[in-house]
Structure 1
Amino acid sequence: MKTLIALEDGTIYEGRSFTGAGEAVGEIVFNTSMSGYQEVLTDPSYTGQLVTMTYPLIGNYGVNPEDMESARIHPMAFLVKEYNPIPSNFRSTQTLADFLIDHGVIGVHGFDTRALVRHIRTVGAMKCIVSTEDLDPASLVERAKSWSGLVGQDMVKRVTCTEPYGWADNKPVPGTNFATARCDADTPLKVVAFDFGLKYNQPRLLVERGCQVQVVPATTDAATVLAMNPDGIFLSNGPGDPAGVEGVVETIRTLLGKKPIFGICLGHQMLGLAYGGSTYKLKFGHRGGNQPVKDLTTGHVEITSQNHGFCVDMNSLSADEVELTHINLNDNSCEGMRHKKFPAFSVQYHPEHAPGPHDALYLFDRFIEMMRAHS
């Protein structure tokens, strides 16, 4: 089915839908991972975006229930060079096309994804519309321009949970709390995890390290969290502009110094704002499972998984209070920081390794050590 991809600057690409009729508008971005497309699709951080994969062949290993990073697909559309409709993998339970159709997400292939990615890399991430229904290029460009965009928008409210839940038996458990959560450790640490768009592998890794995890909505206030008397507070990843998220910065600022805090991705950015700093939008963001990051405290280089379009401006923070701990080796942007007075640290990338390698799992161990030291 003929599909047009229209960017706000007037650039048009023609492809074919492999999921039937559909239309979607959002910010067009690209991901450089060679695998892990199911994890990409179920990452809440992609809310409001149209994702293009740079790897040319997608769909060859299908999808399965075990590799879900959340309960549903979050990108508005999925764009690939060539879709493989016949998966070959013993774990596969469904084709990628059927997976997208089940979640109402349009999939497009049969166009030059390399040309699109080179264009975004030069011009920057842009508003975009994908459609099988409106095939008038001029109309589509105007409709793309009229989309509100991500800057200043609170995208977290679209993905955060509505009720608290726990984690047990390798899955979310509605209504679970610290009194009833199951954990095999003799002395489990209690972690309250803010859900800004949390990926399942984050509570999974905390539980594997002997923690009981209580996931709470992004709107949960500081008094409610402190009343749970946790050993630590985890700030998850999430979508969009951190400056557009309502109320969370004030909550984090109240919690600083009272409990150890570990932030990832959007949680890292929210910490930066709570420290009194600011964030800015990157030209085309960092998205993929192969981003090089240097740990300035050890000199080690990690190959990391990333998905973000905004960044903490270290120049906006006091060097007497906040230390830069990690940098991106592609553009020297901030990838990690720690507070010098309070037990709080964070990274911009995704150490939960799904998708991506295992280089950064030590950060979860560091959080455990920090909680033990302050318990």
Structure 2
Amino acid sequence: MTGYLMLETGDVFKGDWIGADLQAYGELVFNTGMTGYQEMMTDPSYKGQILTFSYPLIGNYGLNQVDAESKKVAVSAVLLNDVCDNPSHYLSNWTFDDYLKEQGIPGLKNMDTRKLVSIIRKQHTVKAVISKELLSTFPSFESGELVKEVSVGKTEVHGEGEKHVALYDFGYKKSILDALVAEGCKVTIVPYNYSFEKLVALKPDGVLFSNGPGDPMTLAPYFELYKKITASYPTLGICLGHQLVALSYGAKTEKMLFGHRGGNHPVKHLPTGKVSITSQNHGYVVTDSTIDTAVFDITFKNVNDGSLEGIKHKELPVQSVQFHPEAHPGPSDTAFIFEEFLQQVQAGGKKACLITQ
């Protein structure tokens, strides 16, 4: 069955319908990864977005019960060139099309994804809608409160380790939780707006601010809370969590031209000069000129475009990175970030900071 992708630019693409039988809206983005389509679709950072797979063949190893990064698909819709209907992998439980239908997500195949990526790179932020009918006018829609939609509503506890980490959930990936549990941590997942008083009552040894969707400035009412947390506990920020650490100390963020989404982004560790290949998924970036260098050291920079990729507090055990050290999908070159964080946690937990209550 034929379906249509309509862009706010006026461009219209025709494709073959797959997945759920419903209309979908969102910001049009692309990912350059060759594998990891299940992890991409279930990454909550994609909430409110229509994902274009730039790799030409999707679905060849099926989908399974272990690789999802959240309990449900996060993307609004998917666009791809060719889909494999006969996957081959010993863990495979679903074909790509069956998985979309079960999750209630529509998509279009046989799309000119090269042209789509070219449009996104040229037009930057592009809103889109997919429908089985051509619409006479482009609909108006807003993204909504994305973090609120993907964050847990109440606390969850995982693992039984001696080190206790509170994970602030802005749309966390399961692989972040898995990495902490694998390192012997007890992890308490808390909502994005969890109060400082409740956090103290949990008695964590450290705090991790997770990844998540949308514009970090929508969380401005909580910047004071996040700064208080970082002043009181060893803290690691990842992706959106990195941006929130920077913003809570007075830095600024900006919308990128078309974002970083893929598993082959090189970043340079400035103290050593070492370059690592990283997994990334973000549309906003911290403006490096707004970082207070009397408070933070800039630790990582993107090799391709020079954008800010990491900071570290000069006095407190606080660091954050724009990329994903847990990978999935992508390389695990920067898994040492978790080791550094947990060394700070082990060194004294909240006693490593001056408690500000």
Whether these two folds match at TM > 0.5 is yes
Q: Does 1:207 align with 2:181?
A: yes
Residue in 1 that maps onto 2:344:
370
How is 1:139-218 mapped onto 2 (pairs within 5 angstroms)? 139=137, 142-143=138-139, 146-149=140-143, 154-168=145-159, 182-183=160-161, 188-218=162-192
Q: Partners in 1 of 2:281 and 2:225 — Cα distance?
A: 24
Q: Does 1:321 align with 2:295?
A: yes
Residue in 2 that maps onto 1:269:
243
Residue in 2 that maps onto 1:125:
125
SS of the equivalent of 1:251 reads helix
Q: Partners in 2 of 1:234 and 1:20 — Cα distance?
A: 35
Q: Partners in 2 of 1:147 and 1:59 — Cα distance?
A: 30
Structure 1 residue 20 displacement after superposition: 5.2
SS of the equivalent of 2:66 reads helix
Q: Which moved more, 1:10-19 or 1:355-364?
A: 10-19
SS of the equivalent of 2:19 reads coil
Contact 2:254 2:287 in 1 (8 A): yes
Contact 2:19 2:99 in 1 (8 A): no
Query: % of aligned pairs identical?
Result: 41
Structure 1 unmatched ranges of 5 or more: 169-181
Contact 1:3 1:14 in 2 (8 A): yes
Structure 1 residue 272 displacement after superposition: 0.8
Q: Partners in 2 of 1:103 and 1:247 — Cα distance?
A: 33
How is 1:286-305 mapped onto 2 (pairs within 5 angstroms)? 286-305=260-279
Residue in 2 that maps onto 1:95:
95
TM-score (norm: length of structure 2): 0.95
Q: 1:333 aligns with which of 307, 314, 323?
A: 307
Residue in 2 that maps onto 1:67:
67
Residue in 2 that maps onto 1:259:
233
Give the partner amino acid of 2:52.
T
Contact 2:60 2:85 in 1 (8 A): yes
Q: Which runs of 4+ in 1 moved over 6 A?
A: none
Structure 2 unmatched ranges of 5 or more: 350-357
Give the partner amino acid of 1:148.
E
Q: 1:361 aligns with which of 326, 335, 354?
A: 335
Q: Partners in 2 of 1:20 and 1:272 — Cα distance?
A: 39
Structure 1 residue 91 displacement after superposition: 1.0
SS of the equivalent of 2:341 reads helix
Residue in 2 that maps onto 1:245:
219
TM-score (norm: length of structure 1): 0.91
Q: 2:196 aligns with which of 222, 226, 232?
A: 222
Q: Partners in 2 of 1:93 and 1:3 — Cα distance?
A: 27
Residue in 2 that maps onto 1:178:
none
Residue in 2 that maps onto 1:135:
134
Give the partner amino acid of 1:194.
Y
Post-superposition Cα deviations, 1:101-134, rounded to whole Å, max 9, x if no partner, equal: 11110021112101110111122131111111x3
SS of the equivalent of 2:241 reads helix
Give the root-mean-square deviation of aligned CA atoms. 1.2
Residue in 2 that maps onto 1:175:
none
SS of the equivalent of 1:73 reads coil
Q: Which moved more, 1:324-333 or 1:24-33?
A: 324-333
Give the partner amino acid of 1:281.
K
Q: Which moved more, 1:189-198 or 1:365-374?
A: 365-374
SS of the equivalent of 2:142 reads coil
Residues paired across the two proteins, number: 349
